[in-house]
Amino acid sequence: MFVQPKREKEIKPSQERQQRNTSLQQLGPKNILPLGYKCPRWPIFSPYSFSLKTPRSTLEQSRRDSRVRQTGERRDDDAMEAPQSSLRSALVFSFIAIAYLSLLVRSATLSSPELQILNAERRIDLTSHIIRVYLTLKVENTGAAPASEIFLAFPPAQVDHLAIVKAAATFGKKKKKSYLPLDVNPTDLPDAPNGAKCFSISLVSPLKTGESVTLEVLYILSHSLEPFPIEISQSESQLVYYHDSAIILSPYHIKHQTTFIKTSSPKVESFTRVEPSDRVGTELKYGPYEDRHSYSFSPIIVHFENNNPFAVVEELVREVEISHWGSLQVTERYKLVHAGARHKGVFSRLEYQHRPQFSGVSSFKHLLATLPPKVHSVYYRDEIGNISSSHLRTNSKKSELEIEPRYPLFGGWKATFVIGYGLPLQDFLFESPDGRRYLNFSFGCPLAETVVDKLTIKVVLPEGSKNPSAVVPFAVDQRIETSFSYLDVVGRTVVVLEKENVVPEHNSPFQVYYNFNPIFMVAEPLMLASVFFFFFIACVTYLHMDISIRK
């Protein structure tokens, strides 16, 4: 256990910013452990992860944040202040961990191919409550061995909210750019410090020494805008914090990097300055920074106005029922919540209706659901009946259902509802060459710009179908259930797919394959017919029989 005096010093509040920007590796202890030492997994608290979710820290943070708002010029230093002296004991552990980790980074880099990033550009889109980050990396192999994998690193605070990571290699010049999607998988890099999580991008062809490749990475964060103040009244607009690092966290050395942050409105209360940084309108620019070491980190906070609907579906259950008689019945049960700043005080309907531009700007009244074309028998209701405020627009490309909850949703308010619709079967059910049938349906939530915390898709196959298997383009939990519907005898097979933290980018098609014998289609009508037949037979027999005892 190595507790470096130097590290102790670092967590002191009055620490210089310059020192922080230095890479973790530089700050690491010089003690050398034997090679191959496995890094134990510590319960690491990074001093830089501001979204530590202990109540104490949020309290402190808010205190600190309020100071940020008050003082204009000093705010950078204040914001940079190491957060928690109270968490010191935890930090001691974490620095021990850092000591090991940074050590191991060295040892690891020895064995793995030496890569470096020539140019990195990051565009962070904060316009809605779903944060989309577009990362363009130009990676060069400077080592001796060819590299087949490129790693991306994320701070632990972001990893929890990371909904999706996509990567593509680009070829060609601007005009004739072509993209080649690449596989992205979460991995554990043994040398990642502070619980930073890594994703590996598998290249199609290994990168040889001296060659370079351009990668486009898109990753999406949900629940990463933190409203501050936590409670607002009806007339106030909503301000949120965004935490990130000015410098891209990467396991590689980055030669040249820039970060652009696009906010939803030009009203930015404050942002951490890491020179050179600049703001023009709704765009913040960090960088360009030159020659940053691997795992460099420089926390920033952007405090800005965001009145977009923070529509979060806490739980969504989509039930897709296949009937081979020609229809697909979809039922979606929503538990919607407004995840923005909590509503404080009274709600005045009068003000809300008379001055919509000033009152309840962060609330939302309606949501837009994009449904497949040719949708029919749409209903929108909750447990106490139909909700009369909805509009359906259909055209040949898509159907749009505009729904309004029973009341406008303010921060923290909840609503539950059910949307159901029927679809023609021939648009979604196909026969694969090997004789199996498969359903091709869209994963994800049809509501625009919403995050789904827990999505469950239940595909109810017709009675008598066998060997179901689901093909989903990303990792989901799968299981099989049995449900009973109209006059079922053996029950229907239900393929259940579960995924957490779903964003609109997950709306890609998935397939469920199964075997089905068409004879089962007529089983239930036959059953009904025979029941009636026997009933009438029984009646006729009864009428023609004399069952009296006495003649």
Q: Which is nearer to other proteins, 125 or 488 (CB)?
A: 488
Q: Which is nearer to other proteins, 541 or 548 (CB)?
A: 548
* Least distance to other proteins, CB of residue 413, Å: 5
- For residue 24, which amino acid is it? L
* Least distance to other proteins, CB of residue 482, Å: 12
* Least distance to other proteins, CB of residue 403, Å: 14
Token reading at 470: 């689901």
Q: Which residues pair with 64 in a beta bridge?
A: none
* Least distance to other proteins, CB of residue 226, Å: 22
* Least distance to other proteins, CB of residue 364, Å: 15
Cβ neighbours of residue 155 under 8 Å, at least 6 residues apart?
A: 46, 48, 49, 194, 196, 245, 249, 297
Interface with other proteins (CB under 8 A):
345-348, 350, 354, 381-382, 384-389, 406-407, 412-416, 484-489, 550
Which residue intervals of 28-87 are DSSP H helices?
Answer: 55-70, 75-80
Q: Which is nearer to other proteins, 120 or 337 (CB)?
A: 337
Angle subtended at Cα 319 by Cα 314 and Cα 320, rounded to the nearest 5 degrees: 140
Work out the burial of residue 354: count CB atoms within 10 Å of its CB; fewer than 13 is exposed, 13-18 middle, 19 or more buried. Answer: exposed
Q: Which helix (H) or strand (E) holds 63?
A: helix 55-70
Q: Which is nearer to other proteins, 74 or 406 (CB)?
A: 406
467 φψ region: left (φ > 0), alpha (ψ -120 to 50), beta (else): left
The Cα 205–Cα 167 span in angstroms is 15
Q: Give the E-state strand segments of 464-505 in sequence order.
A: 466-471, 477-483, 492-502
* Cα 280 off chain centre by: 29
Q: Which is nearer to other proteins, 114 or 382 (CB)?
A: 382
* Least distance to other proteins, CB of residue 362, Å: 16
- For residue 551, which amino acid is it? K
Q: Which is nearer to other proteins, 350 or 545 (CB)?
A: 350
The Cα 184–Cα 203 span in angstroms is 9
Ramachandran angles phi, psi of 337, nearest 5°? -140, 150
Q: Which is nearer to other proteins, 69 or 342 (CB)?
A: 342
* Least distance to other proteins, CB of residue 351, Å: 9
